[in-house]
Chain A
Amino acid sequence: MVSKTKNKKSTKFSKAVKKAAGSYQKDKDMLIQILLDLQSMFGWLSREVLTEVSEQLEVPITQVYQIASYYKAFSLMPRGRHIIKVCLGTACQVRGSPQLLNIISAMLNMKPHETSEDMRFTLETVNCLGCCAMGPVVEVDKTYHTKPSPSDLRKIFESAK
């Protein structure tokens, strides 16, 4: 007997994949775009979702995983509610982004590429957000903060529930 929960979940994923693939007319060339939409939808790409993509688009599962595991935009693990991205581009580097990363790591007791146990934060690094003139820059939930002081950071993290 197939469990009802498993069925519900797989329908949810297959529906989502059908929608994402459908918006690009199931065009295999648009695989990366489809995965980006699914990443945006679910916050990460699970085994189930990627298997659905492989089946619906008729693309080998190896190719789907090769792409999903290659790009920084995709996460193969669940992520925190709040995504913190510290820019480590050259201009930010020269203006102290490694120290900024240190400060944030110390404050949240996390290392880069980690998600906090309570799933509140995921700390990531980016190799250039393109905001180079006002570094160092940290992006928190799609909002950019330039040259934040430790007290600025404390306020930002406290308000991110």
Chain B
Amino acid sequence: MTSPAPLVAIRDLTAGYGGLTVLDNLSLDIAPGEFVAIVGPNGHGKSTLLKTISGLVSASRGSIKLAGVDITHKRPDRIVAAGIVHVPQGDLLFADMTVLENLLMGAYLPQAAAEARHRLEEVFALLPKLRDRQGQIASTLSGGERRMTGIGRGLMTGGKVLMLDEPSLGLAPILIDQIYELIDRLKASGRTIVLVEENAARIFERADRVCLLDNGRFVWSGGGAELMRRPELLETYLGG
């Protein structure tokens, strides 16, 4: 897993809010095409990690490199332009815009705008419900539709790395199945994916690697199947 140069290299990352430290000296390498899952108890930094990578939260120490280029203290819009797409927790849709406008907003960057029409068709193919709902105002969508719009919007941006923050949050199981089907297809197409999930069960067979984040530190990392065989870890950190 470590022979090709890592696409994303995180070293000694420390970050937090105000005086409170949330991420404590984290290091992580992500290879191109790898599917990494970040799991762990709530409130321990999973979302913060993604936000620090995408630039919404500034790191107080450490470094983040994308394909060798240091992006640690760059502005979020520069980091997106460099190729990291962050689909945030809670969707954060543009409430007064339609589904279509939200999706097109995903292709705001010039390099994405050039491919917009093409990508839109791809997104509609992956998420047919969105094509039906494209004229609908985002604030009137159901939970599952919002989630799909959020993910679709992220796909419109393109990018080398796709980061998803709890895509199954608050959804009914049948919708979660659909989301994970989509994730499977994205992985199959060779995308590098970083997934934060509390619902660890579905991760184990899918992820190439699972990293357990507790109190701002990685306490364990390895294959999903391995984790299944360590009930004490599951017990302590993931509530069995």
A joins B in a complex: no
* Chain A residues within CB distance 8 Å of chain B: none
* Chain B residues within CB distance 8 Å of chain A: none
